[in-house]
Amino acid sequence: MSNPEFSLQLFNRAVEAKRQGRYSEAIRLQKESIAAYPEDPDLMQNFYSMGKTYYLLENYSLSIACYKIYNGLCIVRNPDIIRDYIRLNKGDREALQRYAMAFRNLAHNVGHSALDGNNKYSNEKEVLWYKYELEGKNANNLLSGYAGVAEQYDNECIDAGFAYIQDWTTAFVRNQNAEKNSILSMMRQIVES
């Protein structure tokens, strides 16, 4: 039986566990939150949060998988995203602006998950800056004077993240039923793992 209130309590406990550096516990609580209320209209927020937590566990592939689920659930919940995507591909600048604003934060996170594991040594401080942000720490206080370089790397990550999001959205536009089934399958695999 679904329990929305308990699900929200579990989600909030997961967020707190992540802030305290208890990442495995946060993942467990996020999965329990999903199980407590699987038809939650805001279910995508659990996967977005799990994507960040898997990143902190340095499990970049599961992080990206969670972000892909988030992207798919956003599209299912908001059909305007597909309309904007089709319009932006026809040169509509307003649609491009809406699409970019809708997915900028997601692109930032996806890009870090995609690039950081491959750049452990060349971008060490940039990665550390991002980890501090995910943990809710003030990165500027901890890496004084490094904001400009971190911002430049963040922009590279956003570009990389948008490439993933564009691929995911293109696949969704081409075959919505197959993509919905793929998202549901990925959700089950993650929650049951």
Per-residue pLDDT 10s for the chain (193 aa) are: 688 899 999 999 999 999 899 999 999 999 999 999 988 888 899 999 999 999 999 999 999 999 999 999 999 888 899 899 999 999 999 999 999 999 999 999 999 999 987 775 566 888 888 888 888 888 877 777 777 888 888 899 999 999 999 999 999 989 989 999 999 999 999 998 8
Return the pLDDT at 15. 92
Return the pLDDT at 135. 85
Q: State how far the Cα of 150 lies from the Cα of 27, in Å rounded to an integer.
A: 27
Return the pLDDT at 120. 57
Return the pLDDT at 126. 82
Query: Which residues lie closer than 8 Å to 109 by C-beta, 6 or more apart?
Result: 48, 51, 52, 55, 63, 67, 161
Return the pLDDT at 12. 95
Return the pLDDT at 1. 64
What's the whole-model pTM score?
0.92
